[in-house]
Amino acid sequence: MIETWQKDTHDVNALAAELGKQVEAVNSGDLRRAEGLLIAQAHTLDNIFANLARRATSQQYLTQWEAYMRIAMKAQNQCRMTLETLASIKNPPVVIARQANINHGGQQQVNNGAAVPAQGQPSHAPESVIQQSKLLEATNGERLDFGAKGKASGADSRMAPLGARKRPQDRSR
């Protein structure tokens, strides 16, 4: 297998041939090499965790103990994630779908819902009419009565309520 490349000679052609064989094996559904790699990685990470945790217990100062334990816990988490990946490869999650949209290459259009009749329907959205903003009027030019003008609130007594249609002279702001 890969040992041909790992010896003292670095034959790139042998490496490419071996990688090609491994890719073909994975494509045909043979995941033994990937599973073996993951379990070896998990065991290595577990060993790193145990070694760092053991070293942490022999430390006299909190900073060194904390540094060892932080790295040990990261190794333990990586080990857990590796085993989780291996478990998901061995036992993939079951998906129950009501509709499967499978498309191999190319574009796919899925229309869910009732069919829309093609005749008489425009192919674009209708133009919306934008109405001009107007002052509020009750009917035919009568203004709505909002009651008497209020006094300035106690929060900012310098502010006085505006009179009818008072606007700034400089309208460019």
Residue 81's nearest CA partner among 55, 49, 54 is 49
Domain boundaries, given as residue ranges, for the chain: 1-30, 31-92
Q: For the whole model, what pTM was predicted?
A: 0.48
pLDDT in tens, 39-57: 999 999 999 999 999 999 9
Helix 32-57 vs helix 12-27: angle between axes, to the nearest 10 degrees? 110
- Taking the alpha carbons of 141, 146, 152, 153 in that order, is the dihedral positive or negative? negative
Gap between the Cα atoms of 85 and 171, Å rounded = 65
User: Residue 53: what pLDDT?
Assistant: 96
Q: What would the mean pLDDT of 126-152 be, rounded to a whole number?
A: 63
Q: Say whether pLDDT at 150 is over 60.
A: yes
Percent of the chain scoring above 70 in pLDDT: 57
- Dump strand ranges (E) for 84-123: none
Beta bridge partners of 143: 137
Residue 16: alpha-carbon gap to chain centroid:
35
Gap between the Cα atoms of 24 and 46, Å rounded = 31
